[in-house]
Structures are given as structure tokens and as C-alpha cells.
Amino acid sequence: MVVMGDFNAVVGEGKEDGYVGHYGLGYCNDRAQMTVDFCKRRQIYIANTWFTQDRRRRYTWTKPGDTGRYQINYILTKCRYWNSVCNAKAYPDADIDSDHNPVVARLRVKLKKVLKATIRWHLERMKDEGTAMNYRCEIDTAVVAEKQESADVKGRWEHRKSTVIKAAELTLGHRTREEVRKPWITDEMTDMMHERRKWKSIHSEEGCKKYK
């Protein structure tokens, strides 16, 4: 999620937790606190205040008569994607016939790989002789019934496939996500992983301390 626009807010050069960086411009005005509060509520940060830039690369609006230069245009991005923004700055030399300077951010986006849901069976149950015998009996019964029917190759294949899956469901059963886990991963380790993930997403001094 990216929010861009003219906020009419001067957040200044002071750092504000993990939402406003050191490289703003000027002094805070009345609307600055409203913008910062908005960022805190939505867990977003002002990208073009976090990169070391010359002052001419920070200001985004020129007061009529060139009597003042202010930074009031911002690019806001989710704190979760902190590392996705490589740079963000204003371009004062752009020929756009406006008293505002365009602010451009360069992003590096890495899409998450979506894994297909796969069925995992309790194959270790095949070591039990009774379970293995029941599995074979289910398949043998279906194969005998298949021979008595006259069907084409595709029909026989679909019947054979459904037979194997049905026999596995009746005798072996599915493994849950927790059971797929490696046997050496304990519940205590899982709880610590969840806690680490929680503190990693909190960009504050306390969050960094807890994460470390």
C-alpha cells in the first residue's frame, strides 16, 4: 500500500519513532501531528524523510515569489515493507508547470511465492500390518470391480486414481499442518518464533530491544 499526495503538513527534521526520519525539512506546523498520528494508526512511514538527501532534494513546494520552500508532499508506505523502498526524493528541475516538485520513490518488490496445497498422508501407518492389509484389500476390491466394467483407458485411469485416494482416506488419513513439522521443533520454539515475528514488525526502541 502506497499513499502519495499533498498533505499540507511540515513534519520537520526531527525523527518520530519509526514513522518520520531525520531528513525532513523545516519546522513542524499544526497539521504535522495529524499526519504523524495517521501514520501511527495505519502503521505506515514517510519514505522521503528517511534517505540522506541534499536540502534541494527535500523541498516539494515553493511559496509564491520564491520566499520560502517547504516539504509538504510525501510518499507513505507500510512499515511492513520497510526494505522495499530503495530511495525517495524530490525533483526540483522537473518541467511540470507547477509550484510543486514531483516526489519519486524507487521500490524493489519481491512477490511471495504461493505454494499449492498438497495432501500429505500418514505414510508411517503403512508400517502397521493391519493398516497395510486394509489398504490393499480396499484397492483389490476396487480393481476386481473395475475388471467387470467395460470402460475406455481414460475411464479406467480415473477409476484407479479415485480408488487409491479413497483407500488412503479410509485407512491412512491426512496429516495436519502441525504434524508436518519437523519432529525436533517443539512448542516452545514455535511460541518464540511467533513472538520474534511480532516484535520484528514494531519499529520502535522497545520493539528493536525485544527483537534482539
Question: Average pLDDT, stretch 174-201?
Answer: 77
Q: Is domain 2-107 in CATH 3.60.10.10, yes or no?
A: yes
Instruction: Give residue 104's identity as a one-letter amino acid code.
Output: V
Question: Average pLDDT, stretch 162-180?
Answer: 77
Chain-wide mean pLDDT for the chain? 86
More confident call, 160 vs 73: 73
User: Which cell is 157 given?
Assistant: 485411469
User: Which cell is 26 given?
Assistant: 523545516
107/12 Cα distance (integer angstroms): 24
For 16-42, the pLDDT digits (tens) are 888 999 999 988 888 999 999 999 999
Q: What is the pLDDT of residue 186?
A: 77
Q: Report CA-CA distances (Å) from 97 to 5, 59, 102, 195.
A: 17, 16, 11, 51
- Asked if residue 101 lies in contact with residue 53, where contact means CB atoms within 8 angstroms, the answer is no
Residue linked to cell 511540515: 10
Domain ranges (residues) in the chain: 2-107, 123-174
SS3 content of the chain, % helix, strand, coil (to 5): 45, 15, 40
Angle, CA of 150, 156 and 160, to the nearest 5°: 135
Instruction: Give residue 74's identity as a one-letter amino acid code.
Output: Y
Instruction: Give residue 135's identity as a one-letter amino acid code.
Output: Y
Instruction: Classify residue 133 by burial, with Cβ atoms within 10 Å: 0-12, 13-18, 19+.
Output: exposed
- pTM strictly above 0.75: no
Q: What is the pLDDT of residue 106?
A: 94
